[in-house]
């Protein structure tokens, strides 16, 4: 039996992001990072660059455009409601639409009911998902008010139990995308990432802000680095404010993350993955 309680520290202790800094490994012009193949569970990606699941943007046409321009290792769908998938609503089916050219594909599910999420994950695999991603980072009210997205950060123990349920439900890799915590006074990402690894989560994507920040302020690269240091054998993918190849290299160099997920930075520049990959290689 897997112990799904927090195995390091206690409920009153949190990492102090203010006190810890990360020293860049290069100075001046950023050096090219060492290119490492990114493997998520049983899935080998051709690059370490991923398209984020962003509501109202990441439809099939946009994903195919990014793939054709080059450099993209994994694309993710828009946020998917497992209830919508299971009911066969037109909106959900449209968001989950994929084809042979749209591989490998991650399908991201949101919600707070472990049984429904597990059923939704099985549906997604049956309909072409290469990877299942659990949304633990969306700060939008309509998601958090349904106990999904970053609301899951408020109850880490139950979130780990839920993740374990989904991992057992499917045979493809299951990943999680999260934020640092609900607020600067409730940072949970490092310990949560460690415990998610313990129940079989195959990779962690970490957005370097809290829920309360939404998209304000700067991404905390030191916070991402702490998540990198918290896990043992799974890749951590950095996310947030990557709008240029230089931003991508800086995130890898300053956090040690294995890959970078780009969302808003790709909307006006869908070729950003090609350019980021070229700068690495």
Q: Which residues are catalytic?
A: 138
Q: Is 138 helix (H, G, I), strand (E, B) or coil?
A: coil
DSSP string, 194-233: HHHHHTT--EEEEESS-TTTTT-S---HHHHHHHHHH-SS
User: What is the DSSP-derived secondary structure letter of residue 105?
Assistant: E
- On the CB side of 93, how many CA atoms lie within 13 Å of its CA? 5
Residue pair 126/85 in contact by the 8 Å Cβ criterion = no
Closest by CA position to 261, among listed 209, 204, 218, 217: 204
Distance CA 251, CA 212 (A): 22
Distance CA 242, CA 196 (A): 25
């Amino acid at each position: 039996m897997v112990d799904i309680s927090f195995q390091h520290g206690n409920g009153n202790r949190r990492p102090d992001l203010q006190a810890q800094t990360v020293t860049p490994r290069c100075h001046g012009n950023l050096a090219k990072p060492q290119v490492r193949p990114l493997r998520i569970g049983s899935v080998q990606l051709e690059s370490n660059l991923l398209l984020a699941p962003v509501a109202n943007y990441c439809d099939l046409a946009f994903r195919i455009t990014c793939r054709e321009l080059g450099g993209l290792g994994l694309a993710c769908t828009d946020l998917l409601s497992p209830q919508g998938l299971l009911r066969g609503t037109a909106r959900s089916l449209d968001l989950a639409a994929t084809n042979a050219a749209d591989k490998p594909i991650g399908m991201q599910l949101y919600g707070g009911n472990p049984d429904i999420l597990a059923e939704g994950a099985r549906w997604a695999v049956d309909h072409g998902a290469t990877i299942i991603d659990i949304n633990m980072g969306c700060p939008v009210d309509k998601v958090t008010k349904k106990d999904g997205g970053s609301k899951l950060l408020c109850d880490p123990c139950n979130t780990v139990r839920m993740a374990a349920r989904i991992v057992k439900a499917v045979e493809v890799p299951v990943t999680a995308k999260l934020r640092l915590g609900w607020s600067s006074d409730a940072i949970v990402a490092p310990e949560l990432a460690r415990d998610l690894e313990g129940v079989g989560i195959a990779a962690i994507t970490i957005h370097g802000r809290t829920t309360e920040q939404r998209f304000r302020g700067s991404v905390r690269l030191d916070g991402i680095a702490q998540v990198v240091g918290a896990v043992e054998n799974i890749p951590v993918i950095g996310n947030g404010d990557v709008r240029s190849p230089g931003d991508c290299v800086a995130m890898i160099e300053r956090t040690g993350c294995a890959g970078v997920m780009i969302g808003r930075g790709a909307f006006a520049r869908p070729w950003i993955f090609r350019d980021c990959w070229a700068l690495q290689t």
